[in-house]
Amino acid sequence: MSGDITSNELKRIMPLLARHEGVWEGTYRYYNRDGNLIDEHASRLICRFPEKGHPYHQTNHYKWPEGRREVRDFPATVKDGRLFWDNEFINGWACDVDLDDFHRTTMLNWTRTGEPDLYLYEMIQLSDDGKSRARVWQWFKADRLFQRTLVDEHFVTKDWQSYEGKEF
Q: With 60 as the cut, is the pLDDT of residue 2 above it?
A: no
The domain total for the chain is: 1
Q: Would you say the pTM of this structure is higher than 0.85?
A: yes
Is 142 within the bounds of a domain? yes
Q: With 60 as the cut, is the pLDDT of residue 85 above it?
A: yes
Q: Of 27, 18, 19, 46, which is closest to residue 166 (Cα–Cα)?
A: 46
Is 92 within the bounds of a domain? yes
**Which CATH number is 111's domain given?**
2.40.128.20
Average pLDDT of 34-61? 96
Is 168 within the bounds of a domain? no
| β partners of residue 155 | 24
- Would you give the DSSP letter of residue 52? S
If you compute the radius of gyration of the chain from its CA atoms, what whole number of angstroms results?
Answer: 16
Is 166 within the bounds of a domain? no
Q: pLDDT-based confidence at 149, cuts 50/70/90?
A: very high
Is 129 within the bounds of a domain? yes
- Full domain range(s) for residue 109: 7-156
Is 58 within the bounds of a domain? yes
pLDDT of residue 128: 97
Is 120 within the bounds of a domain? yes
Could you tell me how many helices (H) and strands (E) the chain has, helices first? 2, 10
